[in-house]
Amino acid sequence: MLLNTDLHGHNIGKKMSCQQFISNLDGLNNGKDFPKDLLKVLYNSIKNEKLEWAVEEEELRKSLSELVEEQCEGGSKRVARVTDSSNPFIAIPILLNAVTYKHGVLTRKSHAEMDGKRTPRGRRGWKKFYAVLKGMILYLQKDEYKPDADLSEVDLKNAVRIHHALATRATDYSKRANVLKLKTSDWRVFLLQAPSEEEMMSWIFRINLVAALFSAPAFPAAIGSMKKFCRPILPSSSTRHSQEEQLVSHERQLKQMGVELEEHRKNQPAVDPKSREWEEYRLKEHYLTYEKTRYETYISLLQAKIRAETDDLEKIETSMMGSLFMDGRECLLRKTQSSPSISQAHAGLNGRMAGCSAPGQRTEEGR
């Protein structure tokens, strides 16, 4: 797949040679090399005829069916794509009649680009939007939300995917009040200001709730001959797991992250900011610490839902947030305009829902 992209993509520069392709795979056949004749045949085959991405429309519809509202069953399913490039692993199909979990005014600031790189100064300004959390997409619209209105190209461009995301109170940002930090699966970071503390906490709760409910298990990280740390691939499709399976999956991931972090810290290299080895060590430690916090949050959400014994989103939010304390003050959430039953999101699929996590756990994300 990588060779196909290199040979037939729109990247600028010299294409990968057959010898480079063979060298990149050195030692990856259980510690041995693949037969060179086989790799040459593969190289020439892909070079002469590029691989086409296969998309099964039936599977596409099936995988997203959990996000469709029950009352829209007889309605038309309009599909659009938020696209960063032509890569189908980045382009996400969106059902525009998916469940709306929350909507309201948010002011956004882009803090970091993909992979955590700081957003250029000219693009960091605050912009006010009408935000709509619909399915696993946070739409940021210029105009007020209208359920039956089509989204403009600008609205689609501003949309943010929240699968495997984590929302926390922006404790390290003091210039504005009621600001939450949203870190996405590709490590982009957005600061979002809500009109009040109650609304901020409600957005944190619902974004993390949806992410915990629907985020599918991660794929293994990419491998190569170079010893470079790579994060696992986080699929954008909705999970097929039941509630119990989702909880077990999150718990398994949390345990794995804890073991990996412990092993990682046993092999700390000499501190040298200019050393590539130290930079790789630092990046991996940051990743493992963040993932540990994210899975702790997801587990708390699922466990809290089981304790709540209800599928009503509004009741779960009220019962959970009403008993929590933030910075020593009781955090009581008022009623929001959009309060669908969680059961609508998984019509016909019993017991696939979850609850919320303590804000105190989530505030560690930015550290």
Q: Mean pLDDT across the chain, nearest whole number?
A: 76
What pLDDT does residue 319 have? Answer: 76
The predicted model gives 129-135 an average pLDDT of: 91
- Say if residues 130 and 194 touch (Cβ distance below 8 Å): no
264 pLDDT higher than 80: yes
367 vs 276: CA distance, rounded Å: 22
152 pLDDT higher than 90: no
Q: What backbone phi and psi angles, to 5 degrees, belong to 3?
A: -65, -40
What pLDDT does residue 54 have? Answer: 59
> What pTM value is reported for the model?
0.67
- Say if residues 180 and 200 touch (Cβ distance below 8 Å): yes
**Comparing 249 with 148, which gets the higher pLDDT?**
249
Question: In sequence order, what E strands does the chain have?
Answer: 79-82, 92-95, 100-112, 127-134, 137-141, 160-161, 166-169, 179-183, 189-193, 325-326, 329-330
87 pLDDT higher than 70: no
* Strand-pair partners of 95: 79
pLDDT tens-digit readout, 32-77: 889 999 999 999 998 888 887 655 555 444 444 344 433 334 333 3
141 pLDDT higher than 80: yes
pLDDT tens-digit readout, 204-229: 999 998 999 899 998 877 666 556 77
Percent of the chain having pLDDT more than 90? 32
3-state helix, strand, coil in the chain (%, to 5): 40, 20, 40
pLDDT tens-digit readout, 153-189: 777 788 899 999 999 999 999 999 999 999 999 899 9
**Comparing 205 with 148, which gets the higher pLDDT?**
205
337 pLDDT higher than 90: no
337 vs 82: CA distance, rounded Å: 26
What pLDDT does residue 50 have? Answer: 82
What pLDDT does residue 367 have? Answer: 36
pLDDT tens-digit readout, 1-42: 788 877 877 655 678 889 888 888 888 888 888 999 999 999
350 vs 243: CA distance, rounded Å: 9
